[in-house]
Amino acid sequence: MTESESTPAGAYLRHPHLHGDLVTFVAEDDIWLAPLDGGRAWRLTADRSPVSHPRFSPDGSKIAWTSTRDGSAEIHVAPVDGGEARRLTHWGTTSRTLLRGWTPQGEPVAITSAGQPTARQAWAFAVPLDGGQPRRLPFGPIGHLAFEASAQAPGEAADRAPGDRVLLLSAYSAEPARWKRYRGGTAGRLWIGTEGADFARLHSELDGNIESPLWVGDRIAFLSDHEGTGHLYSSRPDGSDLRRHTDSSPSAPFYARNAATDGARVVWHSGGDLWLLDRLDGVARPRRLDVRPAGPRTGRRPYPLPAAGRLSSAAPDATARAAAVVVRGTVHWLTHREGPARVLAETPGARARLARVVPATVEGGPQGALWVTDAEGDDALEYAPDVLAQERRRYAAGALGRVLGLQVAPDGKHAAVAAADGRLLLVALADGSVRELARSVDGEVNGLAFAPDSGWLAWSQPTLGPWMLRQIMLADLASGTVSEATPQRFIDTSPAFTADGKHLAFLSMRNFDPVYDAHSFDLGFPTGARPYLLTLAADTPSPFGPRRGGRPADGTEEGAETPAEPKTEQPGEQPGGEAAGTGESGEAGESSEATGTVVDLVGLADRIVPFPVEGGRFGELRAAKDGVLWTRYQVVGELGDDAATLDDERPGPVLERFDLAKLRAEQLVDSLDTFAVSADGSRLAVLDGGELRIVPADRKAGEEDETRVDLARLRVTVDPAAEWRQMFDENGRLMRDNFWRADLGGVDWAGVLARYRPLVERLGSHDELVDLLWEVVGELGTSHAYVSPPGRAAPGSRPQGLLGADLVRDGEVWRIARILPGESSDPRARSPLMAPGVAVRAGDALLAVDGRPVDPVTGPAPLLAGTAGQPIELTVRQAEGVVRHPVAVPLADDEALRYHDWVAGRRAEVRRLSEGRLGYLHIPDMMSTGWAQLHRDLRVELAKEGLLVDLRENRGGHTSQLILEKLSRRIIGWGRGRGLATAEPYPGEAPRGPVVALADEHAGSDGDIVNAAIQALGIGPVVGTRTWGGVIGIDSRYGLVDGTAVTQPKYATWLEGYGWGLENRGVTPDVEVPIAPHHWAAGEDPQLAEAVRIALASLATTPAKTPPPLPEL
């Protein structure tokens, strides 16, 4: 490209296609048309929902595209000259559905994972224009395809029949621009062949990621980054005469993306512009299309935003009459009842976070507020000394790093800051001076808590790595001395000083009461946490201990939190050992009445005692008036399968209070997201489901005790253009500060951001912002750099209902061809038509849905829109002519149902090939789902002579270590009981013979690691193809101001045999067995067959372990 790739103004143009003198493209979440020679563009759609890949029909009369207008991605079509757009498919919830073009016969072609057992298997379908049943094309899972076309001039009708050859792109993966210079297993591979015959690889010599295969006249074209940047290339169909057609100079800094052709010309987008190449003769040069979409650009127009459901934090003031709240990056002083909502910060293009109340520094003085702002770029503190006045002070810009925690001292003079780089900082609110108190080298600190007298600070700090242990630390702020409050042995979190300053409460996982597992011989600690209390001064008795005078009969204590024991009186104390004043402690431990906190460091860990409450799972702990509060979580399964039904709401935490005088706990709040305590310890601000409630801190609220705060008084306006600028810059800072290498792998990150930043001014929708952010982070060439929009359903979306069956058109009726069997151990894999009483059978004709006749062309799918999870009446006619009206409940997603059916099919094939000698297990991921799937059939499959462990399409996670523990076991003994036919192996759940693993390009992340570990540990050979190659892990902790999730590759992995080289390469199998398109078409699985052959060969030389006979007398 010889011109600048990006214009300073205009729209962000993507996904072009052309026909004759017209070009179609995507901008502002709509489909557009424009003259090819430039000028004003006009909208074809006005749905304002993400769309992609518009394509002209071969005759140029229609345009088809992918739209999410109705919720899920579906294929739509409309006349070029105007008219009603029609939805052609009703595939429902899928991981990927993308239009890829048209057949030469004039049918749209799309790839979709609908009807497949896993999200990675996206087949191509030809979609009839009458809305009839899509026809699956026999090429297997692919990412793209192109049919051989006749040579013709632009815009002319074809003068000869198209060729028979098809150009295929291997299984779909992420677009190359989103992971630039990717070289792992899913890098695009080209195949060429004809339907019904073998396919051959093309350009296997190119070490790059190929995308957008095209037939252009008598040549093929494609995008590839094998020279370092995404360019357009072409060659003859046999792979000879390779040419590059785009410029590689610094004036062309962006990837060429999503190329398309009309059979003679090629068009693509790059850096928000559309580019055209008229010929592939090696002489023609690309030219930028001067296309200008018309319209008001409503996507950039400011709009009001309701605050309900969007409060990210709420910090109550001293008596809970008001709170400092954060909504969409703005800060407000919100009175709780019969008062106004005053804005404290709402600078367009700046994000405010973590608002805190600053107590009055003198009696009767004003309350202030403090929050984090990025108005100057890097985080700084913004301080309002008086929330009712206009003065603002900005402190420590550029000196804090990314602020993760913020807490204000009870005396209002200092704030503690926890930074992402592990530093703990103390900021003076008088002048903004910053002092470093401590620095963690194993991750960030959290749980900041001041003592009531503001003289001490406690926090939780990681030890022995970011995921291992945490301990409570204490700092004497006068001297700056930092000491250990708890040893480096457990996971100690959420410290809080009691209101009198004599104790430090915290949560700790040091409760070792094992529970036997229900499915496997194992023990775990699901209730391993409980709250603990640390007595700070050596001579202060525990509130839980015995008393010399005993306790009152009713269990109450007058005016004291701790027992009155005779001791030497100290200055400022009353007789009996009680401090003068019984101050209260909120989240920051504020109290002007409490006496100075005394800490005896010697023997501190020996004074830790548990609260007399049941162990369990806990979230956060805070101190309040006369007690301590914590959130407790119910012990439930990770998948939610132990609920009564999958529709049940997953139980959230409850809020409990422990009364330090009565020494008993009670539940105050049934459900909540988070809570904060007023400075006087008397009231709580509870956030729950988007609501803010103010409730008492010492008892369960009644109707008169509770205040539901009216959030409608918060007036927030979102300026999309300013917000997108802020999000772009914040995403850049997050990556700069968290990427696994401080040098960002040699990438000039500041230069990258400067190059892409002008494109922000061209954005017209949030989907375009997500696309831009993806491409920016893709410059780092590293895995796990994701950008995910907030999961909000499209307005008016109607989830498609699925019957868990395959239906076919039979003349004028639609019949049930096959009903998928359910899996009783997985509630997601229920089969609607096999439910009790439904009794629909294969061969039955489906005549109507809820009384609406099934159209003989479009079938029942349109009638099932919006029925997911709802009872519907089916009218079916059985083979013998009997008409029935069963009631069924369609699924919203049938992937689980089809997955279990696929696993059963693979297992049956292994049994057939091995004559019953080998077991088969498929592990879909390294998370809870995969752990559950492993154990469904573990014992049965391990009882076979050998085992195939299928790790293909493993989506990764973090449980590979647990999987490896199972696979690494070796039988060294047997147990046999009298009268029992089966001997028990020792250790149990161990393979009896050879283990062979299967891997493919879709096994990634922890799926990469488990395959590499199988090789390193010598468990068995790995058969298949090279894996994904993404092992730089993430913690998914950051979100942008509107809820967009962004990740930063932070945790690198080194493994024996690969070193650091697993990233961007993947695991090389011991035995490579590719699956070509013709294998898929024939229903063959050569990888599975080879794994069986290897296992049987191993058994021939090394038989499986078998129990010995009993000894003779």
CA distance 755 to 195: 45
Helices (H), 968-1039: 1006-1016
Helix or strand holding residue 151 (H, E): none
Indicate if 784 belongs to the active site: yes
Catalytic, out of 682, 1063, 1078, 1098:
1063
Sequence-separated (6 or more) residues with CB below 8 Å from residue 550? none
By residue count, the chain amounts to 1113
Residue 995 near residue 1020, CB atoms below 8 Å: yes
CA distance 931 to 960: 10
Residue 626 near residue 593, CB atoms below 8 Å: no
Number of neighbours of residue 191 by Cβ within 10 angstroms = 22
| Ramachandran quadrant class, 577 (left: phi over 0; alpha: psi -120 to 50; beta: rest) | left
CA distance 86 to 858: 12
Catalytic, out of 1005, 1078, 1090, 1098:
1005
Residue 415 DSSP class: E
Burial 546-556 (b: 16+ CB within 10 A, else e): eeeeeeeeeee
Nearest Cα to Cα of residue 833 among 792, 879, 874 = 874
Nearest Cα to Cα of residue 1077 among 40, 86, 137 = 137
Residue 1064 near residue 182, CB atoms below 8 Å: yes
Sequence-separated (6 or more) residues with CB below 8 Å from residue 491? 469, 470, 508, 509, 529
Sequence-separated (6 or more) residues with CB below 8 Å from residue 580? 572, 573, 574, 595
CA distance 499 to 624: 7
Residue 418 near residue 438, CB atoms below 8 Å: no
CA distance 888 to 911: 34
Instruction: Map residue 169 onto helix, strand or coil.
Output: strand
CA distance 528 to 1112: 49
CA distance 819 to 477: 70
Instruction: Map residue 191 onto helix, strand or coil.
Output: strand
Q: Give the residue carrying structure tokens 């990556």.
A: 735
DSSP sequence for 1074-1104: ---HHHHHTT--HHHHHHHHHHHHHHHHSPP
Q: Give the residue carrying structure tokens 């078409």.
A: 1081
Residue 436 near residue 423, CB atoms below 8 Å: yes
Catalytic, out of 19, 76, 231, 784:
784
DSSP sequence for 968-987: T----EEE--TT-SSPEEES
Q: What are the tokens at 919? A: 């077991």
Instruction: Map residue 530 onto helix, strand or coil.
Output: strand
Cis peptide bond N-terminal to 987, omega within 30: yes
Residue 1050 near residue 740, CB atoms below 8 Å: yes
Nearest Cα to Cα of residue 1031 among 754, 779, 709, 783 = 783
CA distance 524 to 545: 31
Sequence-separated (6 or more) residues with CB below 8 Å from residue 283? none
Which amino acid, residue 970? R
Residue 630 near residue 618, CB atoms below 8 Å: yes
> If you count DSSP H runs as helices and E runs as strands, how many of each does the chain have, helices first?
10, 73
Residues assigned a catalytic role: 784, 1005, 1063
